[in-house]
Structure 1
Amino acid sequence: MVKKILFSYQNKTQLIIAMIGSFLGFTFLVTSIHYLIRVNEFGEGEDILGNNTMIIQKEVNNYSSMKMTKTDFSQREIESIRNESFTESLQPILSNSFGVSLQTDSELVPYFRSDVFVQSVDNEFTKIDAAAWKWEPGDEFVPIVLPRDFLVMLNTFASAKGIPQVSDDLAKTIGFKFTLYNDEKKDWEKVKIVGFTNEVSAILVPASFMEYGNATFPTSVPAKTTQLMLTVKEGRFGEFENYLEKRSLESKENSMIVGKLKSVAGTLFSILIGISVITVFLAGLVLIQYAQLLISRNEYEIRTLLRQGYAPNHIIRTIILYFIKVFAIIAGASLLVFGVAKFFIDELLVQGGIHIASGYTLLSILSVVIAFGIYTVVNYFNAKKGILKSR
């Protein structure tokens, strides 16, 4: 009876307009939050380096080939880059000044040996477990991160010998060893592959091992800093790219492409989130205003119901349940449309070569639940105030 008295003779035009606005706002909000999260996750797990982390170096030109310009970084240049607004963290990459070669040390694969170049960075720039990325003299083996190109070369060698090629998992079980040397002495250290990288051309080793090698097998050639490991702040990739171009610096092309994709997409989705929040907010105000008008127009009826013995909480509950159903319809329709749109968007991304996780993100769904809750709470207090005022 209370529901029939309050809602049967109301003009629904304002309510329908507000529902359409909320529906569009919710749909855009959940979609933009979902894909902002997925875009930021893009590329994670494919490489051993941390997110937004890349290697930069000076471009090599004809002048540097003739030793007219330097390709190494001075301490002043390093500090200058560290103080740039786009830099989250930066560290020079340590390189070996001692001789080092890598060879197989297992009966599972034929003998293979090659002189190599090793580098080291702090663990904060990698996604390797800190417990696995440490070494002290006397340890059983040296943990290393192998460039994937090196594994391709090893498999090419295996194919030429007519033996089975080596997968990533199998390579981690194969025994390898380093030969460390200078003009006066040499030594051997067993090594174990703990990961692979597409971003670094050299073999990565813990900093403690690099310091040990440079100190134990010194040479007349001093180690120079020719590369830097840099983590770019979120949303600052454009500044970083412009800086590289102006200062004749470069980074690996695929890292730049991924970084640019994440930066551009992140900006677009952030703008869409802002628009969605404004749309949801304005539609919410219209719904709240509709509830206020509903109570105002039914002030006589509400006062009559109260005088007949109806409890204020009963009337308030009737109004709140009505709007909960309205919000549920809006939220349900938004999530349904999002699910359908997500299927087609994911297909388009896959066709474009962008592979992202196919599951739903908790935060995107939670945003609808939070907005639903805020609307309900605001309407409750709004209805309570209006009903009590009508007594």
Structure 2
Amino acid sequence: MLKKILFNAQNKSQLIIAMIGAFLGFTFLVTSIHYLIRVNEFGEGEEILGSNTMIIQKKVTNLNTLKLASLDFSAKDIDHLKKQEFTKSLDPIISNNFDVTLQTDSELVPYMRTDVFVQSIKGEFTKIDSDKWKWKPGDQFVPIILPREFLVMLNTFATAKGIPPVSDDLAKSVNFKFTLSAKGKKEKVDVRIVGFTNEVSAILVPSSFMEYGNTNYAKNKAAEITQLMITVKEGLFGEYENYIKRHSIESKANSMVVGKLKSVAGTLFSILIAISVITVFLAGLVLLQYAQLLISKNEYEIKTLLHLGYSPRRIIRSILFYFIKVFALISAASLLTFSLIKLLIDQMLMTGGIQIDSEYTLLSFLAVFIAFGVYTIVNYFNAKRGVLKTL
């Protein structure tokens, strides 16, 4: 009865236009939020370093060969980098100033012994539990992060010996030993792999172990800082790239490619999110205006219904439920369209060799429900004010 009186005689062209606008806005909004999240996750995988974290060093030039320029970072260089807007965190990578060898100590893999290069970084740059990334003299073993290329070399060596290759999980259970040496003294320490990295060429050890080795087995020459670990803030990768070009600094090529991809894609999706929010907002205003016009045009009918004994709450609820249905239809259509678009985009990315998580993101759906809730609340008060005004 109420529906026929209030809605059936209305011109719905404005409503349809607003619904189309809201539908497009919601579809773009959900899609943009989903892929912004997935793009920011891209490249992490099983990498042990944190997001947007990379190693930088100075470029080698002819001046370095002629010993007319230095490759190490001075305290002034480090301080200048820390003050840059794009720098989230920065810390020197400490290298070993002592002789160290790594050898296998397990029946699972063939015996192998080699001189190695070790470095230490702070735990904040890794995704390893801080309780696992620590060491002190007397501990059962030293936790290390192994370059994945080292495991490839180990498996190549094992295959040549007729021994099955070692997986990542199995490698973490294999016993290794460090041998620290200096003139006249030597020490062996048990080692255990806790993670792997594609970004670092050296074996990573906790800072406390590096300090112990450099204190007790150091060579006469003072250690130099030639590499830094930097984490770049989200959305500022372009500034970071321009800075390192101007100052003849370089980073690993694949880190730069992933960082640039994430920065460009992140910027594009952020712009699309902003446009989507504006579209949804404008469509919501049109829907609210339509509700106001509906109440205004039906002022006589509403007054008549009130005189016949209909309560204001019942009329308000009828108007509210009508627009809840409209908004629910828009939301459902948007989510369904997003699901279809997602299948297409995921397939295109997979074909192009970009592997991202195909699971749905909670935040993208949550954005629709939040908008739904906000619109319902605003529409309730709008309908209440309009109906009560007729009293």
Equivalent position of 2:131 in the other structure: 131
Equivalent position of 1:386 in the other structure: 386
Shift of 1:44: 2.2
Shift of 1:46: 2.4
Equivalent position of 2:122 in the other structure: 122
Shift of 1:21: 0.3
**Alpha-carbon displacement from aligned partner over 1:230-270 (angstroms, at most 9, x marks no partner):** 00011100000011111110000110111001100000000
Shift of 1:221: 1.9
Q: How does 1:198-237 map to 2 (within 5 A)?
A: 198-237=198-237
Equivalent position of 2:166 in the other structure: 166
Q: Does 1:49 align with 2:49?
A: yes
Partners of 2:221 and 2:333 in 1: how far apart?
69
AA aligned opposite 2:289 = Q
346-355 or 288-297, larger mean C-alpha shift: 346-355
AA aligned opposite 1:115 = D
Q: Does 1:79 align with 2:79?
A: yes
**Alpha-carbon displacement from aligned partner over 1:140-176 (angstroms, at most 9, x marks no partner):** 1100000001111111111222211111111111110
**Alpha-carbon displacement from aligned partner over 1:83-115 (angstroms, at most 9, x marks no partner):** 111101100001100000100011222110110
Equivalent position of 2:330 in the other structure: 330
Equivalent position of 2:157 in the other structure: 157
Corresponding pairs, count: 391
- Structure 2 residue matching 1:56: 3-state secondary structure: strand
AA aligned opposite 1:344 = L
Q: How does 1:348-359 map to 2 (within 5 A)?
A: 348-359=348-359
Shift of 1:135: 0.4
Q: How does 1:232-311 map to 2 (within 5 A)?
A: 232-311=232-311
| CA RMSD between the two structures | 0.7
AA aligned opposite 2:39 = V
Partners of 2:289 and 2:274 in 1: how far apart?
23
Equivalent position of 2:109 in the other structure: 109
AA aligned opposite 2:359 = G
Shift of 1:4: 0.3
Partners of 1:130 and 1:45 in 2: how far apart?
20
Shift of 1:28: 0.3
Partners of 2:279 and 2:362 in 1: how far apart?
22
Shift of 1:211: 0.3
Equivalent position of 1:373 in the other structure: 373
Partners of 1:61 and 1:178 in 2: how far apart?
34
**Alpha-carbon displacement from aligned partner over 1:327-379 (angstroms, at most 9, x marks no partner):** 01100000000000000101111111111111111110010001111111111
- Structure 1 residue matching 2:35: 3-state secondary structure: helix
Shift of 1:192: 0.1
Partners of 1:292 and 1:184 in 2: how far apart?
91
Partners of 1:237 and 1:210 in 2: how far apart?
31
Query: What residue ranges of structure 1 are gaps of 5+ in the alignment?
Result: none
AA aligned opposite 2:351 = Q
AA aligned opposite 1:230 = I
**Alpha-carbon displacement from aligned partner over 1:4-61 (angstroms, at most 9, x marks no partner):** 0001110000000000000000000000001001111112232110111000000112
Partners of 1:189 and 1:66 in 2: how far apart?
39
Partners of 2:103 and 2:181 in 1: how far apart?
14
> Percent of pairs identical after alignment?
70
Partners of 1:110 and 1:6 in 2: how far apart?
84
Moved >6 Å (runs of 4+):
none
Q: How does 1:9-88 map to 2 (within 5 A)?
A: 9-88=9-88
Query: What residue ranges of structure 2 are gaps of 5+ in the alignment?
Result: none
**Alpha-carbon displacement from aligned partner over 1:211-233 (angstroms, at most 9, x marks no partner):** 00011112112111000000001
TM-score by length of structure 2 reads 0.99
- Structure 2 residue matching 1:57: 3-state secondary structure: strand
